[in-house]
Structure 1
Amino acid sequence: MKNSPLARRQFIKMALAASATVSSGLLSGLALAEPTRLFKISLAQWSLHKAFRSGEMDPANFASITRKLFNLDAIEYVNQFYFDSLSDKVVMQLKNQAKDEGIESRLIMCDGEGALGDQDAKARKKAVQNHYRWADAAQELGCHSIRVNAQSSGSWDEQMKAAADGLNQLAEYCAPLNLNVIVENHGGLSSNGKWLTGVMKLADNPRVGTLPDFGNFIINRETGEAYDKYQGVTELMPYAKAVSAKTNGINMQGNEPHIDYYKMMKIVTDAGYHDYVGVEYEGSDWPEVEGVHQTIALLERVHRQLQLDANKAV
């Protein structure tokens, strides 16, 4: 249906409406000192992973792409796109481009560097050390955090203990860099809100926090075991230093069909979080750029409703 003439016409109408919505929202967003704005919007690089992987877009130009296509003023990098090319020169190029575009670098999402909760102490230490280069890059870029995973194995308690230890080791390195180490619910026990909350309590470190992702609460993809996403976000928000606004799709009404965005963003803002929320479009129903625009429009629409409801409550 998505490629039919009717669907295309519907999409064009949606896109035009979304464009107007985003433009009006971003005009207010330009004055970030606006006291009534409940949250701001950044772009997670993974939203454009197909374009970056295919070579259609250059990861070196992430900041300028964000400004040109979406006019957002904050970005979240993904280390996968710089894994083999990372160098001081590359970091400076990214830093200078972000500065030129007036864009804030918020964090680097780190994958593929080993299990921070490895049950083997030496392997765990090596995983911690593997993250150092990304921490150094994040500090130079002016980020506030690196996003990591809490992979482990063993029993509930064994995984919790090992993950907390690995996170604390990495936080010890990041503290002098004024960086946080934040964990995303990203599969396995990390997608169990109760378990990840327990890791936060056990780590008991102001530099260790969470990055709640609205769509990553599948604990076991083979069995389909999942955790309640609203309960999970509620549990993780007290430790949140960033938030990932995941959309796995956008329907013709402009909504995420499997996530009640108003309910989710009310949980976020009721927790006292009013910082950047990172758009992470991961659907296949629309091309990536259009999917990002629609996710931004959805967030702006929810923001307006939350503001209206807040005003009514006063």
Structure 2
Amino acid sequence: MTQKIFIPLCLFFLVTSLFVGCKENLAKSVQVEVVTDDVKPFFKLSLAQWSLHRAIGNNELDPLDFAEKAKAMGFEGIEYVSGLYTKKLESMGMEALQEALKEKSKAHGVENVLIMIDGEGDLAASDEKERNQAVENHKKWVDAAQFLGCHSIRVNLFGSNNEDEWIANATIGLKRLAEYGQSKGINIIVENHGGFSSNAGLLVQVMKKIDMANCGTLPDFGNFCVKREGGGKWDGKCIDEYDKYKGVEEMMPYAKGVSAKSYDFDADGNETTLDYPRFLKIVKDSGYRGFMGVEFEGSNVSEEKGIELTRDLLLKIGKELSK
């Protein structure tokens, strides 16, 4: 009687042990598949404040609430635009503004990445006095970037219509500001933003001449118009455009950030004016692993919708390239 019971019990425990072991192995197998499937992109996402410039300009969004808005939309970092704080500076002053922005970013758990500087003078001006004044005007923003914990300020290099003159003056002005930035631990980075700054080959020459670790570039996917009808910076049809893909590839070795510009999308969420997969492969192949800044400039959908479409497209392609 005892023997008859003992044998089935042994079999029972043996079978149970095998079954449990199989279940554990199956669970481990499933877990590995989930982890493998949850691929992260090779970059982090930041939101460029310019994407919301219409909402801010129409008083629909307080620029002090930028950090909160970016966090709600799923961004880890934020990129400020100096010109969107003109009114706040007039009413609050720089010190109070900096403290408010730092408090907001901490409260909402976003990283302050950089500040895009506009309207503070031409760092590539042919006139020495004008160029020196531009350097001085930018210094307060270097200090602000340091206070906020940003790694960079983005500057413009407009300057002369003569290539040699532009290279010489851009090198002088940018190097002076980079030296000040170096003393504060802040990068000074140049965006392709019109004029000869959108000629990546010439901009790279300036980078090589300066040859400072904290002086670099901010490649933008869409700003490669070198010359417009009428000679204006922003108005007029583009009559001389530098090759976008070549330009980004040339700028990437000096990049401290990347601006993912977008304009329009199809029903499947693809950008219709720019080859995003091609751009992101160029960025990844360069070894860049920093923040990718979403900068929507379209008008066919709302700013928020455009931001979401750009964000989702970047994540989709970024994950595919990271597999």
When normalised by structure 2's length, the TM-score is: 0.83
- Contact 1:161 1:202 (C-alpha < 8 Å) held by counterparts: no
* Cα-to-partner distance string for 1:157-200 (whole Å, 9 max, x where unaligned): 11001001111111111112100000000001111111111111
Share of identical aligned residues, percent? 48
* Cα-to-partner distance string for 1:47-88 (whole Å, 9 max, x where unaligned): 0010000000000111011112x1211000000111343321
Residue 132 in structure 1 maps to residue 146 in structure 2: no
Give 5+ residue unaligned stretches, structure 1: 1-27, 29-33, 309-314
Residue 65 in structure 1 maps to residue 69 in structure 2: yes
The residue aligned with 1:260 is: 275
Give 5+ residue unaligned stretches, structure 2: 1-34, 230-237
* Cα-to-partner distance string for 1:254-282 (whole Å, 9 max, x where unaligned): 11112111110010010000111000000
- Aligned partner letter, 1:43: L
Dislocated runs of 4+, deviation >6 Å: none
Residue 93 in structure 1 maps to residue 100 in structure 2: yes
Match of 1:271 among 276, 286, 302: 286
The residue aligned with 1:112 is: 119
The residue aligned with 1:17 is: none
User: Per the alignment, in what secondary structure is the counterpart of residue 270 of structure 2?
Assistant: coil
The residue aligned with 2:12 is: none
The residue aligned with 1:38 is: 42
1:154 CA drift (Å):
4.2
- Aligned partner letter, 1:128: V
The residue aligned with 1:194 is: 201
Q: Which moved more, 1:129-138 or 1:289-298?
A: 129-138
Quote the Cα distance in structure 2 between the aligned partners of 1:132 and 1:82: 17
Residue 232 in structure 1 maps to residue 235 in structure 2: no
- Contact 2:40 2:319 (C-alpha < 8 Å) held by counterparts: no
Quote the Cα distance in structure 2 between the aligned partners of 1:51 and 1:36: 31
Q: How does 1:282-297 map to 2 (within 5 A)?
A: 282-297=297-312
1:135 CA drift (Å):
1.1
Residue 220 in structure 1 maps to residue 249 in structure 2: no
- Aligned partner letter, 2:99: M
* Cα-to-partner distance string for 1:290-313 (whole Å, 9 max, x where unaligned): 1000000100110122123xxxxx
Quote the Cα distance in structure 1 between the aligned partners of 2:41 and 2:318: 8
Residue 147 in structure 1 maps to residue 154 in structure 2: yes
Larger Rg: 2
User: Per the alignment, in what secondary structure is the counterpart of residue 212 of structure 2?
Assistant: coil
The residue aligned with 1:280 is: 295
Q: How does 1:1-40 map to 2 (within 5 A)?
A: 37-40=41-44
- Contact 2:152 2:189 (C-alpha < 8 Å) held by counterparts: yes
User: Per the alignment, in what secondary structure is the counterpart of residue 120 of structure 2?
Assistant: coil
1:250 CA drift (Å):
1.6
How many aligned residue pairs are there? 275
Quote the Cα distance in structure 1 between the aligned partners of 2:261 and 2:39: 26
The residue aligned with 2:16 is: none
